[in-house]
Structure 1
Amino acid sequence: MMREKWIGGVLLLLVGIFTDVQGAFIGINIGTDVSDLPSETDTVALLKAHQITHVRLYNADAHMLKALSNSGIEVMVGITNEEVLSVGESSSAAAAWINKNVAAYLPSTNITAIAVGSEVITSIPHAAPVLVDAMNYLHKALVASNLNFQVKVSTPQSMDIIPKPFPPSTATFNYSWGPTIYRILQFIKNTNSYYMLNAYPYYGYTSGDGIFPLDYALFRPLPSVKQIVDPNTVFHYNSMFDAMVDATYYSIEDFNFSGISVVVTETGWPWFGGSKEPDANTGNAQTYTNNLIRRVLNDSGPPSQPKLPISTYIYELFNEDKRPGPVSEKNWGVMYTNGSAVYPLSLSDSSQITGNSSGVFCTAKANADPDKLQDGINWACGQGGANCTPIQRGQRCYLPDTIVNHASYAYNDYYQKMKSAGGTCDFDDTATISAVDPSYGACKFSGSSNSSKFTGLTPASVAPSTAVGGWSSNLQVSNLQYLIPAAFLALLLL
């Protein structure tokens, strides 16, 4: 899948990085085919406020790179596919590109990698013959500027260049592209860089004609009778993500290379699709992203390379509503530009949680029926005795004005008051227990230790609300905009 985007200003409010001291990190891709993007200055202010430390830009926008100055954020800049040909045909063009887009910003802007094109071999095959030339010219320009130890050069490729990724042990690159792939691997080895992989279990599942179960694509446990096992190595694969990464390692080995690490430069799951894309929904997207975060942060590699953690960039920050193609193409983002989350994200299984990780909270399910949520709010705020004043218009927990946010506050207030007397967190199966403190900004949920110093952001504007049953909720967007737990933002962050 071709991922060419212009990276200018972006209001990055979210999942940047959660990194272990020496382990894997999770970063975020930022595309800008988005309506109503904020300024670059506002973007970087948000990044710094939330301690986001890794981002991938799809080009080298001057305004964004300047705004990132002195932020400490690690930046992967991109050479667009349109630029590959000119850079690959001229060493002077490559040197000029480095001088203009890298050297001019270092060291104040922390550029650490250059992604040369996006899936060039499969998306613009006519440029493949000069792809490695472009990489070599860029690296030589970095050497000339004494920046080659600071900035690595590589090129993201899709899983499409591995025709048969399962079983992983027999996977190999498409030999029709063998010479180009060999040169890429030789370049990576010689320059101590890494292989950039775009891995999408969503496509592996939806194009697989039912060969693999959905749970396998979503990192969910499989029953013993359905375990996915490589018959040659007897390695058990608990997720399609791991199998894709391992298929890449075996393909690299098949070309007689070793010691090359894989970084996943894109992965994600669309949260909304057309009538023929039923698997693109918020429930699957939330499950995939949460489980991906937990998987990456456990700092282990795939079965064949257990000691090589899999640093990963999530695709993507915002829904790119201007992108062409099917409905799902526009709905990969985890955030809306107003700062609210498309679906709740949780790091409850991560030791890096900094909020009230020892407590439990009762929150609304992201994909619950809006009518049931409204019934739950009415009951909790009425017969249940919850204090729902904070979610009224103008009060500290009113924004974001979504039914999921309001239900979460009401449910949790009831639960914290009544759990010792037998109160449950169910509300007609619209609620769930979470270890993530959902407090944000001035809105503190009952049961919060208030230990986190995070001072979350509230959207600058929201759609008009509709009062139902006496309690305000925005039913028009209730199935779209969801509260992002402060613990998540405080965590995504190192």
Structure 2
Amino acid sequence: MADSLAFFFSLLLIFTLSITSEAAPSIGINYGRVANDLPPPSKVVQLLNSQGITRVKLYDTDATVLSALSNTGIKVVVAMPNELLSSAAGDQFFADNWVEANISAYYPATQIEAIAVGNEVFVDPNNTTNYLVPAMNNVYNSLKKLNLHDDIKISSPIAFSALFSSYPTSSGSFKPDLVEPVIKPMLEFLRKTGSYLMVNVYPFFAYAANSDKINLSYALFENNPGVVDSGNGFKYNSLFDAQIDAVNAATSALQYGDVNVVVSETGWPSKGDSNEIGASEANAASYNGNLVKRVLNGSGTPLRPNDPLTVFLFALFNENQKPGPTSERNYGLFYPTEQKVYDIPLPVAEVAAAPSNMGNWCVANGGAAAEKCHVALARAILAVLLMLLPNLLDLGSVNSPTGY
């Protein structure tokens, strides 16, 4: 019987590893709070659950929000605001205290999976770029002291404008003045710590500025002729994929092509000023709805076909106190009343459509689909093994002379 149990636990380990190591596409959402009419965090958590959203990205470490997210199963990305970077960079003790007060005080009840150290630091008018990587290192050291460095990743969302070239996609490169001072040290840090590069990607901006050159359908994931990259020969059917691969090309050019990209923000405004070409409810619904479908189909980009995407939509709510053009206050999928601005299939639709029993067949259509079938099959077999475990243990008790 000992051999049977050993075989069982070997199978259990193999299938558990196959599930946990499998990359999977993921849709999260940015929960910004620059508004005076938003529902309380407890109601926001209910909204997230009702939509099947299991990942949320914050712009701070607000205690009320982090407490509301505790014991919910929702993974959380928190942020250290730009104004704290200089203190975190120059004082390890400051970083230690910040991590203890804002991270370890809530983890693991609140499933903090990453810390965004700063946000779009390179375009910060307060010139905080030089503090970025030292701050990331000190926050990492603080996590390490608490033995949390393997559980919580550290990154920093960069604006797409950090690229010097993005067209054609294969020519992607970072601005020369950023490369040596901050881009290469940051990529080295991300590689060393097993983290990823966060990038804010907005095809809307490119389309609004070049509507005479960019096909709207290409920007909205709708049917279009596509664009063939003259450098690598890949055909792109969406501006979104082309922009991500421009970032991938830029990291590869610096010999950091092994650092994965996570889209920390992307979205399309439902309303804008007269000069914000393309800002409309119909276009926002098309972009975000098609984006969700595109991400959840499991495929990567033409340059990285085997790397499923992790994308955080911007944003959960319209935020009425955001400065700037009208579009800035109209990126939300929901009004503060929790009513949808427009109807799109959020991840809950994927959950509702998932097979509910083993009587369904998983049919692979391409590499990414085959990988998802592998995960589904592993889960099914693991479930059967767990069901058999009590019987195996009973048999062991009957056949053992001592009853143990």
Tell me the distance in 2 between the aligned counterparts of 1:342 and 1:71. 25
**Hey, what's the Cα distance between the residues in 2 that align with 1:200 and 1:235?**
21
**Which residue identity is paired with 1:242?**
D
Letter in 1 for 2:341: V
Pair 292,50 (structure 1): closer, same or farther in 2 beyond 3 Å: closer
Name the SS for the 2:114 alignment partner: strand
- Give the deviation of 1:22 after TM superposition: 4.0
- Taking the aligned partners of 2:340 and 2:248, their CA distance within structure 1 comes to 34
Aligned to 1:95: 96
Q: Deviation digits for residues 374-397 of structure 1, max 9, x if unmatched?
A: xxxxxxxxxxxxxxxxxxxxxxxx
- Using the alignment, how far apart are the partners of 1:230 and 1:240 within structure 2? 12
Match of 2:365 in 1: none
Q: In 2, Cα distance between the equivalents of 1:353 and 1:229?
A: 36
User: 2:338 matched to 1:336?
Assistant: no
The aligned counterpart of 1:444 is: none
In the other structure, the counterpart of 1:135 is 136
Does 1:221 pair with 2:223?
yes
Question: Cα gap change, 1:258/1:163 in structure 2, threshold over 3 Å: closer, same or farther?
Answer: closer
Please show how residues 347-366 of structure 1 align to structure 2 within 5 Å: 352-354=351-353
Provide Cα deviations, 1:251-278, integer angstroms capped at 9, x if missing partner.
Answer: 0011111321110000000000122224
Q: 1:59 and 1:182 mapped to 2: Cα distance?
A: 26
| Cα-to-partner distance string for 1:159-218 (whole Å, 9 max, x where unaligned) | 101122011111111111112000110000000000001000000111125221111111
Picking from 200, 210, 213, the partner of 1:211 is 213
Give the corresponding residue for 1:297.
Answer: 296
Answer whether contact 2:333 2:342 (CA < 8 A) is retained. Answer: yes
- In structure 2, the residue matched to 1:231 is 230
Question: Distance in 1 between the 2:328 and 2:308 partners?
Answer: 29
The reply to whether residue 185 of structure 1 matches residue 184 of structure 2 is no
Q: Deviations over 1:350-397 (max 9, x none)?
A: 7654399xxxxxxxxxxxxxxxxxxxxxxxxxxxxxxxxxxxxxxxxx
- Residue aligning to 1:85: 86
Per-residue CA deviation, residues 439-479 of structure 1 (Å, 9 max, x unaligned), is: xxxxxxxxxxxxxxxxxxxxxxxxxxxxxxxxxxxxxxxxx
Identity %: 39
**Are the equivalent residues in 1 in contact too, given 2:23–2:307 (CA < 8 A)?**
no
Distance 1:221 1:98 in 2: 47
Matched letter for residue 258 of structure 2 = G
Aligned to 1:15: none
For residue 41 of structure 1, report the CA deviation from its aligned partner: 2.4
What amino acid is the match of 2:198?
M
Code of the residue aligned with 1:99 in structure 2: it is E
- Residue 306 of structure 1 is matched in structure 2 by 305
TM-score (norm. length: structure 2): 0.79
Equivalent residue, structure 2, for 1:145? 146
Q: Which residue of 1 aligns with 2:198?
A: 196
3-state DSSP of counterpart to 1:241: helix
Q: 8 Å contact 1:75–1:113 — kept in the other structure?
A: yes
Tell me, in whole angstroms, the C-alpha distance in 1 between the residues paired with 2:268 and 2:334.
13
Q: Is the 8 A contact 1:26 1:314 kept in 2?
A: yes
> RMSD between aligned alpha carbons?
2.1
SS in 2 for 1:87: helix
Q: How does 1:46-445 map to 2 (within 5 A)?
A: 46-124=47-125, 126-179=127-180, 180-208=182-210, 210-223=212-225, 227-346=226-345, 352-354=351-353
Amino acid at match of 1:212: I
**Rounded Cα–Cα distance in structure 2 between residues aligned with 1:38 and 1:246:** 37
Map Cα deviations across residues 316-369 of structure 1 (whole Å, 9 max, x no partner): 011111111111111000101212110111369x7654399xxxxxxxxxxxxx
Range with bigger deviation, 139-148 or 40-49: 40-49
Distance 1:344 1:251 in 2: 35
Q: 1:34 to 1:347 in 2, by over 3 A?
A: closer
Give unpaired runs (5+ residues) of structure 1. 1-20, 357-494
**Quick one: which amino acid aligns to residue 136 of structure 1?**
N
- Letter of the structure 1 residue corresponding to residue 209 of structure 2: S
Deviation string, structure 1 residues 44-75 (Cα, Å, up to 9, x no partner): 34434554310001000011111212112100
SS in 1 for 2:173: coil
Whether contact under 8 Å (2:38, 2:337) holds in the other structure is no
Partner secondary structure for residue 76 of structure 1: strand
Could you say what secondary structure the match of 1:258 adopts?
coil
Moved more, 23-32 or 124-133: 124-133
Report how far residue 139 of structure 1 moved.
0.4
Over residues 413-436 of structure 1, what are the superposed CA-to-partner deviations in whole Å (9 max), with x where a residue is unaligned?
A: xxxxxxxxxxxxxxxxxxxxxxxx
Amino acid of the structure 2 residue aligned with 1:196: M
Tell me, yes or no, if the aligned pair for 1:347 and 1:353 is still in contact at 8 Å: no
Structure 2 CA distance for partners of 1:259 and 1:278, relative to 1, 3 Å: closer
Kindly indicate whether the alpha-carbon contact (under 8 Å) linking 1:34 and 1:318 is maintained by their aligned counterparts in 2: no
- 1:82 is displaced (CA, Å) by 1.2
Q: 8 Å contact 2:29–2:53 — kept in the other structure?
A: no
Larger RCO: Structure 1 or Structure 2 (Cα < 8 Å, ≥ 6 residues apart)? 2
Moved more, 38-47 or 259-268: 38-47
- Cα distance in 2 for partners of 1:347, 1:87 equals 37
TM-score computed with the length of structure 1 as normaliser: 0.65
| Aligned equivalents of 1:304, 1:51: Cα separation in 2 | 30
Runs (4+) of structure 1 moved beyond 6 Å? none
Cα deviations by residue, 1:100-140 (Å, 9 ceiling, x for unpaired): 00011111111010001110012246211110000000001
Unaligned ranges ≥5, structure 2: 1-21, 356-404
